[in-house]
A and B are shown apart, each in its own frame.
Chain A
Amino acid sequence: MKRIEEQTYYEILEVAPDATSREIQQAYEHARETFHNDSVAVYSLFSEQEIKKIQSMIEEAYGVLMDEALRKNYDRSHLSPLDLKWPKSEKLPETPESPMEKKTYLPFSEISIDVGEGPYRGKMLKQIREKMGIDLKTISIDTKISLKILAVIEEEIVDRLPVGVYLKGFLRGYAQCLGLDPKRVIEDYLNSMGAGKKK
């Protein structure tokens, strides 16, 4: 077993070396939630000092893996040729249980994690999407929301935003596609729009 400081950034975030930006983003949010100061899952297992160290390693791992150039450099110096050879579609062959685990996770896939990030305004959603390397067209295909509406949401063009229930539906779809907490996104977005109107 490896100490946290001996683990690769991929091991710290529990993702495969071929993980996509979206997978890394989701894993990062999960790791942040798990090792949050108030997390019920860690306080009785780790000391405060250990939690702080893990938190900082998580941030470091995220910072490098989400930056294409830094990640390439890191991969070259830290991964074995075998790691780098894995085809995109394959997962880490950590244990024979991985497929089961995947099966277990599927019914929970709609669950997103409240990362305490935000507020989720249009600009923030755009930033997260771009960090994940997903273009708006992909989101549009995944969510069946028109490109125009997605652009209006991101740019916060208030007078062209769909009305009430429709906007909520679009925000929910967009948030789910990015692996964010839809409730939080809707709340933040509508609050910010409300504030904007008041101004």
Chain B
Amino acid sequence: MGQTANASPKMIWTIGGGKGGSGKSFITANIGICLSQFGVKVILVDADLGGANLHTLLGVLPPDLSLSDFIQKRVSNLEEVLVSTSVPNLQLLSGAQDLLNASDAKSLQKRKLLRSIQHLESDYILVDLGAGNALNVLDFFLLSDGGILVATPEPTSIENSYRFLKSAFYRRLRWSVTSSAAKALIDGAMDRKNELGIQNPSDLIESITRISEEEARRVAEEVEGFHPNLILNQVRTKKDIEVGFSIRSACKKYFGIHLHYLGYIVYDQDVSNSIRKRRPLVLENPRSRAAQCLTEIAAKLVNKHQMAVRLQGEEQ
């Protein structure tokens, strides 16, 4: 067991974002390795139920057992699906590969899976999510202590990330209210052309206040407590890096949320070379510029965790 494990509770990070190909799995695999190299125990969960390939990025052959076996109840315990990797302290929970409808896992199965992931024994659990805004994906994203959005500095990627963030944001708010009237307002707010004239979260809170001040207070608390993170991948210029800060400011103004810009990963030919070789970049070429960015982000995650633990300690 790693050093952190002795002193700190487990930390779950979910890695998502609207667009496919933004580098979520690549980032999950490499940050997982960096964390395990810090001496903490790490589990990587491939929750891209429609297109799992985290094992390939780790240089592992498709394991015999995967989440499909758990979802299909062929194994009762999620630990049985865990496989060791060649990296000390790092285990993999491989995604469903042979189940076309795995991404549509029924609600009951999904809840069981979410619960089981939360109960896995590890210092850090990194969950790699599939692309898109399906409810399954959003629920996994909201499962974590801190969801991490991965985007590239292109308009299409940013647009999809906002769409994803909006969906996750409103889903979280929906969980916080109890009345059907408030839930209906939140559902309506998702459609910008809604007849209620709700254009943004401020309008929504105002509308909910008219129904119930108590519900509005709960929604406002949810907004306050929602702290997603952002990693910008494939940045090529300083201006690209600045886009991350602009996204942070835009989120503050629009959603009223504090998006934490964890960092960026520079565009680097070594990345595609390592993927082709099926060797994780941080092992294949740890001195490459992209690998250094990944290591820096992993160190920030550890710091963030330690800070959260310290704050928790002070509160108790």
A residues neighboring B (CB under 8 Å)? 1-4, 14, 30-31, 33-34, 39-47, 50, 54, 94-97, 99-101, 103-105, 107-108, 111-114
Contact = CB atoms under 8 A, between A and B. Distances in A.
Contacts of A47: 199
Contacts of A95: 227, 258
A56 B128 CA distance: 41
Nearest to A114: B239
Given A1-B202, A34-B249, A104 B261 contact: yes
A97 B246 contact: no
Which secondary structure characterizes the binding site on chain B?
Answer: helix
B210 interface: no
B99 interface: no
A39 B260 contact: no
A52 to B, nearest CB: 14
B256 to A, nearest CB: 3
A100 B256 contact: no
A96 B159 CA distance: 28
A41 B201 CA distance: 18
Nearest to B297: A104
Interface of B: 153-155, 158-159, 162-163, 199-202, 205, 220, 223, 227, 238-239, 241-243, 245-247, 249-250, 252-256, 258, 260-263, 296, 300, 303-304, 307, 311
Q: Which 6 A-B pairs have the closest CB atoms?
A: A1-B256, A41-B246, A34-B246, A44-B159, A111-B238, A3-B202
A33 to B, nearest CB: 7
Contact of A101 (B155, B255, B260, B311): B260
24 contacts: A1-B223, A2-B202, A2-B256, A4-B253, A14-B249, A30-B245, A31-B249, A34-B245, A34-B249, A40-B246, A44-B163, A46-B250, A46-B253, A50-B199, A95-B227, A95-B258, A96-B311, A97-B304, A100-B307, A101-B261, A103-B300, A104-B260, A105-B245, A111-B238
A179 to B, nearest CB: 13
Given A41-B247, A54-B253, A111 B242 contact: yes
B263 A104 contact: yes
Contacts of B256: 1-2
Nearest to A107: B296
B227 A46 contact: no
A124 B243 CA distance: 26
Contacts of B220: 1
Given A95-B227, A97-B260, A45 B162 contact: yes
A114 B250 CA distance: 18
Contact of A33 (B162, B202, B242, B263): B242
Nearest to A6: B202
A14 B238 contact: no
A92 B269 CA distance: 40
Contacts of A99: 307
A34 B243 CA distance: 8
A107 B300 CA distance: 13
A192 B300 CA distance: 44
Contacts of A97: 227, 258, 260, 304
Contacts of A96: 307, 311
A50 B220 CA distance: 22
A99 B310 CA distance: 14
A45 B248 CA distance: 12
Contact of B246 (A4, A33, A46, A50): A33
A61 B260 CA distance: 24
Given A2-B256, A96-B307, A104-B261, A40 B227 contact: no
A30 B243 contact: no
Given A1-B205, A3-B202, A113 B249 contact: no
Contacts of A30: 242, 245-246, 249
Contacts of B258: 94-95, 97
A1 B246 contact: no
A173 to B, nearest CB: 17
